[in-house]
Structure 1
Amino acid sequence: MSTLEQVLAKTNSDIKINVSASETAQTKILKKFRQGFISCLILAIVFAAMALGNLNPYSFPSYLKIYLVVYMTIAATWYIFMYLKLKNINIAALTPSKLFSKTANIRLLMISGEVIFGMGLVILFTLLL
């Protein structure tokens, strides 16, 4: 029986979670969130400077630069939100059912964020064409 099925079935058997491996994985994911935040912030600053400096106005209009600044700022905010949400999970202190619930919630938020940002890219390419 899998670990999740044990939790859902509310069996009396002990469920073992490897805390050190889970904390290592959490640290790696937090690092990816920090990298995503920094990348989005740098791109937002670059496109803001391009919009303010009016660089390449014909091949890449200002409204697209402004769109990308807003898009990258929202993405950076999303990465900060997800970083804080994941950082607040204390793997060693939570019960397995709460831990599974919180990680499932984070997965759902990440998938919905990816879908929304994917739609934003579709809008960008539609405006570009």
Structure 2
Amino acid sequence: MNVTVNKLTSNLKELSRRTESGEIAWLQASPTVFNWDQGNGLVASIQRAGGPTQRVYQGLVSKAALLAAGIEADDRDGGQYLFQVVEKASKNTVVSLSSKERPELKGVLERIFSTAQASVDVSASKVLDELLGF
């Protein structure tokens, strides 16, 4: 791997680490899409296509965006991942990383998706605890 790919991978691993530690709060837009509004006009999203859930849901990352990134909804190899950062005001995509186009990033993108999913589960458990008076 070259220096640029190493830095990119390192940054993505840090994003996953911060999600695991609770520093980053993801919201679930659909069963396969998680969004993180950074509060600075940028929204990051991680989406899984293929794998256990075959349908592609509309969110900040659309089916058209997946297709443009070369990800087909029927990928059956455990899924593909698309990480994007979008400017809220202009809706311009400023970062788009696809595990189909960049297979060397699949592991770290899958980890971001998994940690985002787990962080939403932790938040849901806290809300349920409150509802139940725990």
Same fold per superposition (TM over 0.5): no
The structure with the largest alpha-carbon Rg is 1
Return the structure number with greater strand share: 2
Return the structure number with greater helix share: 1
Give the TM-score normalised by the residue count of structure 2.
0.29
